[in-house]
Structure 1
Amino acid sequence: MAGLAVASGAERAEAEDTTTGATAAAASSATIHQEIDLAASPDRIYDALLSAKQFGALTGLPTEIAAEVGGAFSCFGGHIVGRTVELVPNRRIVQAWRVATWPEGVYSIARFELRLQHAGTRVIFDHTGFPPELRDHLAAGWEDHYWKALRTLK
């Protein structure tokens, strides 16, 4: 992930991923925090987010996912691309995430925390480092394209 940069923002914090050696900056001025309750178990949600077959079936669009740290992914027919930077099985997924039309090498950070809640999962989701003017559009996109699809899992 050489050349990884994050979209511009007022303040930046540099963080090195010790697994891949990639450096990512998080722009504190552009963030989304969402907490979503889903009926499926954390392992089911984790698998759905990291399986090209399952995620593609949920969204109805071509998906490629290398389910490993450093692995590339492409979702929604190539509209969303990136790399996985951290995995804690059934608990956490952190991705360097970008819309394909963003400038080459510019990524945001998407963090999915999965917590067992009753018989299902609470997803604590944080998205940082994207262009601030895209906040409302991206927040709605997570609901429309991720959470609605994951709500169909039992």
Structure 2
Amino acid sequence: MTIHQEVTIPASPAAVFEVLTSSDKFAAMTGGRSADISTEEGGAFSMFGGDIGGRNIELVPGERVVQAWRSHAWPKGTYSLVCFALSKSGDGTRVVFDQSGYPEDAHEMLAGGWQMMYWGPMSEMLAGK
């Protein structure tokens, strides 16, 4: 199963990339839930107070973030691949998002969760930046 979503965030690709890769900015976007995000390819990350973790696979500033991503509620060793492709779109950033490799029973929660936990809060936080 896969999730494919396309959204426009009212900010520059650099600003969107920064939120995705900055511990402090990510935590601010999520209302203060702790985040520890490495800025290095191969580096580990932990987000949402430790509920989500994984490793950065590819980081191309202002263009792409690829991560091996997992919920700690999933069976041990289960990771999905997430890709955030960023491109300028008018005054904002077009995010083309894909996720694959997650447990089948997580599909509905994940598909709705990206809007609720990422796209909505990120748009609100970055409006006008």
Pairwise mapping of residues 9-88 of structure 1 onto structure 2 (< 5 A)?
30-60=1-31, 61-88=33-60
1:133 Cα deviation after fit: 1.9
| Gaps in structure 1 of 5+ consecutive residues | 1-29
The alignment status of 1:145 with 2:117, answered yes or no, reads yes
Structure 2 length normalisation: TM-score? 0.94
Deviations 1:35-75 (A, max 9, x none): 00110100000001100000001102011101110111111
Would you tell me which structure has more helix in proportion to its own residues? 2
The aligned counterpart of 2:75 is 103
CA distance in 2, matches of 1:122, 1:95: 19
Return the letter of the residue paired with 1:52.
S
SS at match of 1:106: coil
What is the RMSD computed on CA atoms of the aligned residues?
A: 0.8
The percentage of aligned residue pairs carrying the same residue is 47
SS at match of 2:79: strand
Structure 1 length normalisation: TM-score? 0.79
The alignment status of 1:90 with 2:66, answered yes or no, reads no
| Gaps in structure 2 of 5+ consecutive residues | none
Pairwise mapping of residues 118-133 of structure 1 onto structure 2 (< 5 A)?
118-133=90-105
1:119 Cα deviation after fit: 1.0
Spell out structure 1 runs of 4+ moving beyond 6 A: none
CA distance in 1, matches of 2:12, 2:26: 16
1:121 Cα deviation after fit: 0.3
> What is the aligned length?
125
Return the letter of the residue paired with 1:72.
A
Question: Which has the higher Rg, Structure 1 or Structure 2?
Answer: 1
